[in-house]
Amino acid sequence: MGTKNNVTEFVLFGLFQSREMQHVCFLVFSLFHVLTVLGNLLVIITINASKTLNAPMYFFLSHLSFADMCYPSATTPKMIADTFVERKTISFNGCMTQLFSAHFFGGTEIFLLTAMAYDRYVAICRPLHYTTIMDRGKRGLLAGASWVAGFLHSILQTLLTVQLPFCGPSEIDNFFCDVHPLLKLACADTYVVGLIVVANSGMISLVSFIVLITSYVVILLNLRSRSSESRRKALSTCGSHIITVLLVLVPPMFMYIRPSTTLAADKLVILFNIVMPPLLNPLIYTLRNNEVTNAMRKLFGVKGTSGEK
C-alpha cells in the first residue's frame, strides 16, 4: 500500500519495429481511418436527413455509427502519428484517457447491438405490437441505457487500473494502452483485479454474444411460417446484424475472457476489433438495404436505376 507510482509516461512498442512496415501502417491505417469516419458520418447524416428512415432500427443504427466513428478515433490517430517517431511515448493521464475512451465506445457498441437485436426480435416475432413496444420513448431509453452501460463498464475498468502502483519499467508491447499490458506492468498483486477484468469485459462479451445469437436463432425459427418475401427481407436484415455481432464480439471474447495474460496474437486481434468492424459496418448495413441506399441517392441527388420509381 505504501508503493508510490513512479511512472509519468509509458513507452509503446507499436505494431512493428521495421521502419518500412511503419510506413506501410501509416498509409493503410490513415486510409482506413478516413474511410471509417466518412462512412459512418454518411450513415448518420443520411438517417437524420431522410424522412423515410424513421424506424427504430435506423435510430439505433445512427447511434451505432457514432460509436463506430469514435471507437477507433480513441487509438488509431495516436498509432498513425507514432509511425513518424522512434520513441513512442504516452503520458500516464493520456494512457488512462485512452483506456477509458476505447472501452467506453467499444462497450457501448456491444450494448447497442443488443438493443438492435431486441428491436429485430419485436419486429419479427411480435409485429402487431411493434409500434407500441418500440415507441419513441422506449427506443430512446434503450439507446440511453446502452451509453450509460458503456460508461459504467469503462469507468470501472479505468478506476481499477489507475489506482495500481507502477514503478517501472514502463514499456507496453502494444500500440495503445489496454488493461492486460498495464496489469502486467503494475508492481503489485493484480490477481483480484484480473478476475474483475474478466468479469467486467470477458463476461459482458460472452453473455452478450450468447444473448444475441440466441435471439437471432429464435427470430429465424419464427420466420418459417412467414411468406418467402417476408423471410427474404428479414434474413437480409438479420444476416447483416449477425455478421456485425461476430466481427464485434469474437475478438473481445478472445482478449478478455481468459486470465490476465498477454499473448503474441493480442495486438493483431485487438487491432482487428478496433479497425475492421467500424470500417465495415457502414457497408454491411447499407449495401444490402435498399431503403438506406435510396435515401443516400435522394440526399445527393443521384437517380436510381430505370426500374426504380
In a domain, 286, yes or no: yes
Round to whole Å and give the CA distance between 29 and 35.
10
Sign of the CA dihedral 13, 166, 255, 214? Answer: negative
- Enter the pTM of the model: 0.90
Q: What are the mean pLDDT values of the chain's consecutive 10-residue runs (309 residues total)?
A: 69 88 93 96 93 91 96 95 91 95 96 93 88 93 97 95 87 91 89 88 91 88 75 75 89 84 82 94 84 87 53
In a domain, 74, yes or no: yes
In a domain, 166, yes or no: yes
In a domain, 184, yes or no: yes
Hey, what's the cell of 237? 436484415
- Structure confidence by residue, pLDDT tens digits, 129-170: 998 999 999 999 999 999 999 999 999 999 999 989 998 788
In a domain, 176, yes or no: yes
Beta-strand pair 9-12/171-172: parallel
In a domain, 2, yes or no: no
Round to whole Å and give the CA distance between 227 and 301.
34
List the domain range (segments joined by +) for residue 29. Answer: 9-295
CB 179 within 8 A of CB 18: no
DSSP code of 202? I
pLDDT at position 93:
94
pLDDT at position 79:
94
What is the domain-level CATH number for residue 197?
A: 1.20.1070.10
In a domain, 171, yes or no: yes
Q: How many domains does the chain have?
A: 1
pLDDT at position 4:
59
In a domain, 68, yes or no: yes
